[in-house]
Amino acid sequence: QQQPRLRQRLSTSSFSTRTSPSLGVNGTTRFAKNHLREQLQRAIAPTSNSESIPMQLWSEEDVLQWLEDNKLSFAKSAFAKNCIDGSILKVLHENAMKEMGLSSLQSICVIGKRDAHLLVESASDV
- Pairwise CA distance, residues 113 & 111, whole Å: 6
| pLDDT per position as a tens digit, 107-117 | 999 999 999 99
- Pairwise CA distance, residues 44 & 1, whole Å: 33
| pLDDT per position as a tens digit, 6-29 | 444 444 444 444 444 455 555 557
pLDDT in tens, the chain (126 residues): 444 554 444 444 444 444 444 555 555 577 777 776 666 666 555 555 455 799 999 999 999 999 999 999 999 999 999 999 999 999 999 999 999 999 999 999 999 999 999 999 988 766
Residue 8 three-state SS: helix
What is the reported pTM? 0.62
Work out the burial of residue 125: count CB atoms within 10 Å of its CB; fewer than 13 is exposed, 13-18 middle, 19 or more buried.
Answer: exposed
